Chains A and B, each alone.
Chain A
Amino acid sequence: MERSILSRRNFLGLSMGAAAGVALAGCGSSGPGTASGGGNSAGAASYWYLTGQPGEGIRTNSVNRFNQANPNTKLTATTFQNDAYKTKIKTAIGAGQAPTIIWGWGGGTLRTYAQAGQVEDLTSWFGENAAVKDRLFPSSFGAATIDGKIYAMPAETVQPIVLFYNKRAFEKIKAEPPQSWGDIMDLVPKFNAAKIAPFSLGGQSRWTNMMWLEFLFDRIGGSEVFQAVFDGQKDAWSNPAAIDALTKMQDLVKADGFIKGFSSITADSNADQALLYTGKAAMMLHGTWTYGNMATAGGDFVSSGSLGYMNFPGIDGGKGDVSDTVGNPGQYLSISSKATAEQKETAKNFFKTAVLSDAEVKEWVDSGSVPIVKGTESAFGASKDADFLKFVYNTSANAKVFAQSWDQALSPTAAEKLLDNIAQLFQLKVTPQQWATNMNGVIGQ
């Protein structure tokens, strides 16, 4: 009868239905951009930030405190997972659906917002409110400053990348934590022989691999190697120090330095941390923001003192300063330039009265983080994590150079290319020379 005609119609109908469905779903998801549900006043503002404890809880508490104190100009909070947020916020800003307060990492991404006129210039506001500015670490303003103007309020905590290790694993093979790159390469076969992975790594997230290169580049060639890339110098990635770092990186991969299956592990699931605290891996290069989760999820791992930590060791013959570190000098809150005047006022009031308030500072310290507020060292002594807090504070304060993470410092276009190529480097699919050639192509973009 009509089966074949029906099938064509079905097909068209299905494809149209699917197209409409996708489009409608797209409409539905633009919701949080407006200040809905945050009270009825014109000053009600919205704020997007990241999930993941302990930060999520502390951010939420700050919002709640602010809303209690300001019942007429409430903030509505919406939360997102780390890697998903990076895309979501860009899309929302591009579509004119940005929240009033934009949580971010500063650097290259903030630069694209500033150049497109999407975020407020806060320079004069900081001038009028010197007290707000002066209590924060001066180093935290670098990634908030674009062409001499401040486009974001530094917030939250300083997060250097450090080398974590499992003391129980080191006791098992009767070894000492590495003091040099040579030590690291010597430890690899010893741990592998004991059926412990030398290093945990959430390689699918890619920026996790990048942290290794950041330290290798710095320790071998000094901070000026990446600075040259950042400044847009031609062929800066082909620096001999860079090639040496890339080669050493692949040597470590080839020697089975990383946990089996690292390229399918994501950092968002915290599986990389679980490998360290369950003793399946001996060491992990990661941001200090992982400490809080390891303390809560790792049983007695942290409380029993089994978690060791140190700055990344030096490399024999390297030019870099072993005090240098890299990571997040702070987190950053910007105000959308598309927000109404009342909303902007609410956001500024939030910056002034709620961000890094005494109560919030205490919560960050309790969670094992160092807030970017001057003079908090005195509070560390009372904390159960006093040693770790002092270590993070000293690492950050004593660093000759505190570099911003590469993927945050570079433009999104260059960062994506970088992360892709780093994944290929760890898969041993490109040689150091090919890698440098690929990356030289996007310098300055």
Chain B
Amino acid sequence: MALPAFLMFVAFGIIPLIGVLVLSFTQWDGIGKINPAGFDSWRTVLSDPDLIHALWITFLIMALSWAFQTPISLLIGVYLAGHQRYREILAVIYFVPLLLSSAALAITYKALLDPNFGLGPGLKIPLLTQDWLGRDNLALGVVVFVVSWQFIPFHSLIYQSGVRQIPKAMYEASEIDGAGRVRQFFSITLPQLKYTVITSSTLMVVGSLTFFDLIFVLTAGGPGDATRALALDMYKRGFQANLMGPASAIAVILVLVGLALALLLRRLGGRDAAESQMEGV
């Protein structure tokens, strides 16, 4: 089992990574010859104010989409873990956004939010008739919203399975002690889900580094550079401006930031991360 997975990881994970690292020390337009260029690309990228801006935008999207997704996913996950009527049907409906490709989502939202031909002007609702993708903060908000809309079902699923693993005995005991549902949620469900929260957050945070397709189709980084996140910046430099060297340098930065964040989040889990809180262990 482990060997094929390892080979896949080397072939599609490690080798491209080394390729990108090598490319970051070259000068290449993607078409002609590859020329060694030492630290030129790194100097260009690190002294470019656009990099700081792209990092900031990436961080904003990461933080806002985490803050938006986590509470909602948690609540939906807890709800779905119960045994109410129609729960299965609702679960299927909640899951629909995850089945759509990011590009399709982006095109749909772009059409719906069009200030002249979209949902707002169509239904004559002034509140919806905003220049959603044409103003800096609104555009960033829309990106966060659409990303969250797409991924909340996935994280709900993680929380659902987490909640299902909490022993029933804990709830039964707390009921005898007279705890209500809210008290149960904060005193049993939430603490027991600690590691699920960390897993889900890691996926959200590291995943948000690679948001590209959705932003590219929705805003193309605009207006101006208001939603130009790091992955998009990398693409624009590499494939539109034909600067593969600096683009590769940004790719390496992306990998490093991703690894650092993943490690940090594991640390946040605390030293007891490998221990269990399950009863009787």
Contacts and interface: CB of A to CB of B under 8 A. Distances in A.
25 contacts: A3-B162, A3-B278, A5-B274, A7-B198, A15-B206, A16-B5, A19-B12, A20-B9, A90-B239, A94-B31, A112-B31, A116-B29, A116-B31, A116-B32, A116-B33, A117-B32, A118-B31, A259-B116, A260-B131, A264-B133, A264-B222, A271-B114, A275-B116, A412-B240, A416-B240
B195 A115 contact: no
Given A23-B12, A264-B223, 8 more contacts: A19-B13, A90-B31, A264-B110, A275-B116, A416-B237, A420-B236, A423-B225, A429-B224
Interface of A: 1-5, 7-8, 10-11, 13-16, 19-20, 22-24, 86-87, 90-91, 93-94, 112-113, 115-118, 203-204, 259-266, 271, 274-275, 280, 411-413, 415-417, 420, 423-424, 427, 429
B274 A263 contact: no
Contacts of B224: 263, 423-424, 427, 429
A411 to B, nearest CB: 8
A87 B240 CA distance: 6
B174 interface: no
A23 B131 contact: no
A320 B11 CA distance: 58
A3 B242 contact: no
B131 A16 contact: no
B21 to A, nearest CB: 16
A412 B220 CA distance: 17
Contact of B203 (A2, A14, A261): A14
Interface string B17-40: 000000000000111110000000
Contacts of A259: 116
A72 B272 CA distance: 71
A7 B195 contact: yes
A420 B198 CA distance: 38
Interface string B216-238: 00011011110000000000110
Nearest to A281: B116
Contacts of A93: 31
A118 B32 CA distance: 8
B116 A4 contact: no
A182 B72 CA distance: 55
A438 to B, nearest CB: 11
B16 interface: yes
B268 interface: no
B134 interface: yes
A271 B199 contact: no
Contacts of B242: 90, 112, 411-413, 416
Interface string B130-147: 011110000100000000
Contacts of A429: 224
Contact of B115 (A23, A117, A264, A427): A264
Interface in B93-144: 110, 113-117, 131-134, 139
A7 B199 contact: yes
Contacts of A7: 195-196, 198-199
Nearest to A98: B31
Contact of B32 (A10, A115, A416): A115
Contacts of A87: 239-240
7 smallest A-B Cβ distances: which pairs? A264-B133, A116-B32, A416-B241, A23-B12, A261-B115, A263-B223, A261-B131
Contact of B243 (A116, A266, A413, A420): A413
